[in-house]
Amino acid sequence: MTRFELKVVASDHVFYDGPCVSLTIPCTDGEKQILAHHEATLMAMTNGMLRMVDDGGNTRIAVTGMGFAEVADNKVTVIVDTAEKPEEIDANRARRAKARAEERLRQKQSIHEYYKNQAALSRAMARLKLK
């Protein structure tokens, strides 16, 4: 199988750095799949699940926050604010965060607060979906 180099960087650590055969990322206009020798591009990412298949055929799944992915010269760099493995997610904490965000969205607020709470709800739902 042909592969490409992938580096996933969260705001506080390097989540993954190594070979990859297939990468599926959550973008603002739907999921996008990247394979080896993909054309050069820059994609805006949203909260959701990132799926990568290494050259051994193993699938790794992570919940990522907002960010972007750059594809160039058979290398992909993903920069996101958060990246979590399934075993790192606390389902009870995610449920509480979801309930808090839903309550805040019901309250009258500024447009900035609305988008902030909408992003928090999206992150919590992505975590719960993976868990």
**Domain 89-129 belongs to what topology?**
1.20.5
Domain boundaries, the chain: 4-84, 89-129
Residue-wise DSSP of 56-118 = TS-EEEEEE-SEEEEEETTEEEEEES-EE-GGG--HHHHHHHHHHHHHHHHS---HHHHHHHH
CB-based contact 76:6 (threshold 8 Å): yes
Q: May I ask the CATH architecture of the domain 4-84? A: Sandwich (2.60)
Q: What is the pLDDT along the chain (131 residues), one digit of tens a residue?
A: 689 999 999 988 999 999 999 999 999 889 999 999 999 999 999 988 999 998 888 999 999 989 999 999 999 999 999 888 877 767 677 678 778 777 777 776 777 777 777 777 777 777 766 66
**Size of the chain in residues:** 131
The pTM for the full model equals: 0.73
